[in-house]
Every structure is written in C-alpha cells, then in structure tokens.
A = this chain, B = another copy of it.
Amino acid sequence: MGAVTIYDVAERAGVSIKSVSRVLNGRPNVTEELRRKVQEAADALGYRPSLSARGLAGARSYLIAALVDAELTIEHWRSGRGNDYLSRMELGALMECRQAGYHLLIELVDVASPTLERDILAMVSSLRPDGLILTPPVSDSTVVLDALDSRGAAYVRLGAEREPSRGGRVWMDDRRAAYDMTVHLIRLGHRDIGFVVGHPRYAASRARRAGFEAAMGDHGLAVRAEWVAEGDFTFPSGLACAERILGAARRPTAIFASNDDMAFGVVQAAARLGLSIPRDLSVAGFDDAPGAQFSTPQLTTVRQPVSEMAEAAARMLIAGAAGQAAPGPAEVAYALVLRDSTAAPRG
C-alpha cells in the first residue's frame, strides 16, 4: 500500500521525474543543487524505485540469476542436507550483489531435460536478468550456452572446462589440484592409491581424475582398475565405492576421493572394516566442506574458493551491465589443506 513513487519524490523536490531518475541513477549533467534536493526528498520519503518498473522500462533488471543443476539439488533436498557448494557460491554472489543494489535469484535447471533449450529461453525472457552465473554442470552445457548466446545474455561460467572461450569464466585448476594432492600422497610413501571418481556429468570429475592419473603416471605408478570406482559426489556413493575398492584382493594404502562427502563415505567404510585412519589407510578429499575440519580425524583436502569465485562472477556481470568493460576470465587459487587423515603408509 501507500507505495512511494518517483512522482512523489519529484513533487516534493519540486523537479521533474526525469531529474529524479537522473540523480538516482548517477547520471551526469545534474547540478549539485538539484542532486541535493532530490536526494533529500528521496531520503525523507524512503523512496526506492520499483524493480518491476525499472526492469520493464529500462535495459537493466538489477537481477542476477544463478543457474543450479536440479538433480543434485533435489538429491540434497531429499536427504535433508544442505548443499555446501551452493551455499558458499551464494554467499559470495550475495555479498557482491548487495553492494551494487542487485538481487540474486536462484534458478533450478535440469540439464538432462529434453526441453532444456526452451526452459532456458523461457527463463531468460521471463526474468531478463542482467547476468547469469552458471554453476557446474550447467556451466558445461553447450545447449545452455547456445540458448544464452542466441539471446545475447551475459553469463559467467564457474569451473567450466569445455569451450573455454565462450562467455565469462572463473575457474580453478581442478586437474592440477588433484595432481598435487596425488603427489602429496606419493611423497608420503604411498604407491598403491585408490581413487573415487565424481559425478560423470561434472567436468571437474574428469579433471580431477585426469590429474590423479597424470601424477601416478609421472611417478611411474600404475592406476589399478579395481582401485578406481565411480561415485556421484554423495556420501552413500563414496561408501559404496570404498567398499568395492577395499574389498579387492589387495588393498591400496590410500584413497583419494573426488570430494569430501565421498571421502567421508570412505572413512565410514574403513571404520566398518576395522581400519584405522590414517594408520591403515590414508584418505584425502576435495572441497574442504565444513565437516572436513570437524571430523575425526580431520580430513586432508583441497580448498576450493567457491565464494570468491562467485564474487568475481557477480562482479564481472554487474560491471558488464553497467556498461563497463567486464574483467576477463579469472583463475582462482586452490590450496592443499593437509590435516590428519593422510600419513605415511605402515612399513
């Protein structure tokens, strides 16, 4: 009710609505005197322009939409757990949006849907966001990129691997991080190392696996097929994979899981077999989920700066919408977090 409009402000300031618009949008060609009057009136009235009206009339919607894959999200929802990656992504984007007067919208996207293209098109024409943040695996969907490009929509891809030249990108080197972690295990003295692969739909899964294999190869170590199992980034899948790997005739002395949730599953599987970590088995994860520092033993893992990535993405998008040249693609740094779940294998 009683909503304050631009007309109210204009009347109170004794100027035209156009002047109010100019002042509030920081346009040039305004005298200091006018700016002050308008600002005063707007403050007194507690005026805030209507998002809808702005979006409808102008070229900007002040909306950033984050596209998130529906499958894993629903999986989390079903299991009653939150999604740490999503949460961190969101916090980063939120902080950046807040500063710039932008609003963040989370949109679920089913990349496996046969109607994916129209879903994206429909979403864009309905929301007209000033920019889109594509999270994996949406960031690697050619269908999505094509649809977005056909509309001239601005987007930044998080952790994308394929077609690196398309759109804005903020990524970290998953392959190298996995390589480094594998080397860490090798340096500890492990030669028999198992690996739990991530969800096949994610580019990061392939990259991490490639990094693991490259490190093994570079050190003259064989990757044994029975020590590699394919999970889907969930705890139960990690548990199942570990049971398979540890059920092999010969056991590896270390297992590197493609994310922390699966690493926790590995820890659980080890506990069921009566294996002590890290004495009987070293376990490494990837992500630095909150549980990684709370678990016992604390988990050795790779810290992925998700929040910073999302901040950078939002910043690029907002700058672009404001007509500024958007900053180019950005690589962010990962960090190996060495905790207590990895150690030298027993003599």
Q: Chain B contacts of A209 at CB under 8 A?
A: none
Instruction: Answer yes or no: A114 CB below 8 A from chain B CBs.
Output: no
Binary CB contact string for chain A from 120 to 140 against chain B (1 if under 8 A, 0 otherwise): 011101111000000000000
Check if B46 sits within 8 Å of A122, measured CB to CB: yes
Instruction: Answer yes or no: A95 CB below 8 A from chain B CBs.
Output: yes
Q: Chain B contacts of A81 at CB under 8 A?
A: 84, 88, 290
Check if B87 sits within 8 Å of A98, measured CB to CB: no
* C-alpha spacing A148/B85, complex, angstroms: 32
Instruction: Answer yes or no: A225 CB below 8 A from chain B CBs.
Output: no
* C-alpha spacing A40/B305, complex, angstroms: 46
Can you list 22 A-B contacts (CB < 8 A)? A46-B118, A46-B122, A47-B122, A50-B126, A51-B52, A51-B128, A52-B53, A52-B54, A52-B128, A53-B56, A56-B56, A73-B91, A77-B92, A80-B88, A87-B87, A98-B108, A103-B105, A105-B105, A261-B294, A268-B294, A289-B291, A291-B295
Nearest 6 A/B pairs, CB to CB? A82-B87, A52-B55, A291-B291, A48-B122, A264-B294, A82-B84
Check if B108 sits within 8 Å of A106, measured CB to CB: no
Check if B296 sits within 8 Å of A267, measured CB to CB: yes
Binds B, one of A1-9, A164-172, A319-327: A1-9
Interface range on chain A: under 10, 10 to 19, 20 to 34, or 35 or more? 35 or more
Check if B91 sits within 8 Å of A77, measured CB to CB: yes
CB distance from A268 to the nearest CB of B (A): 8
Q: Chain B contacts of A297 at CB under 8 A?
A: 296
Check if B76 sits within 8 Å of A91, measured CB to CB: yes
Among B52, B103, B105, B293, point to the contact of A52 (Cβ < 8 A): B52
Residues in A60-114 with C-beta less than 8 Å from chain B: 61, 73-74, 76-77, 80-88, 90-92, 94-95, 98, 103-108
Check if B46 sits within 8 Å of A51, measured CB to CB: no
Check if B84 sits within 8 Å of A290, measured CB to CB: yes
Instruction: Answer yes or no: A222 CB below 8 A from chain B CBs.
Output: no
* C-alpha spacing A301/B196, complex, angstroms: 30
Please give 5 more A-B residue pairs, beta carbons under 8 A apart, in addition to A46-B122, A73-B94, A82-B88: A52-B53, A261-B290, A289-B291, A294-B295, A296-B297
Binary CB contact string for chain A from 14 to 47 against chain B (1 if under 8 A, 0 otherwise): 0000000000000000000000000000000011
Residues in A261-289 with C-beta less than 8 Å from chain B: 261, 264, 267-268, 271, 288-289
Q: Which residue of B lies closest to A68 (CB)?
A: B94
CB distance from A99 to the nearest CB of B (A): 11
Q: Chain B contacts of A202 at CB under 8 A?
A: none
Instruction: Answer yes or no: A247 CB below 8 A from chain B CBs.
Output: no
Check if A49 sits within 8 Å of B126, measured CB to CB: yes
Most chain B Cβ neighbours within 10 Å, of A87, A88, A106: A87
Check if B103 sits within 8 Å of A104, measured CB to CB: no
Q: Which residue of B lies closest to A304 (CB)?
A: B80
Instruction: Answer yes or no: A152 CB below 8 A from chain B CBs.
Output: yes
Given A82-B88, A91-B82, A291-B290: A55 and B51 interface contact (C-beta under 8 Å)? yes
CB distance from A47 to the nearest CB of B (A): 8
Given A73-B94, A294-B235: A50 and B46 interface contact (C-beta under 8 Å)? no
Among B50, B54, B123, point to the contact of A125 (Cβ < 8 A): B50
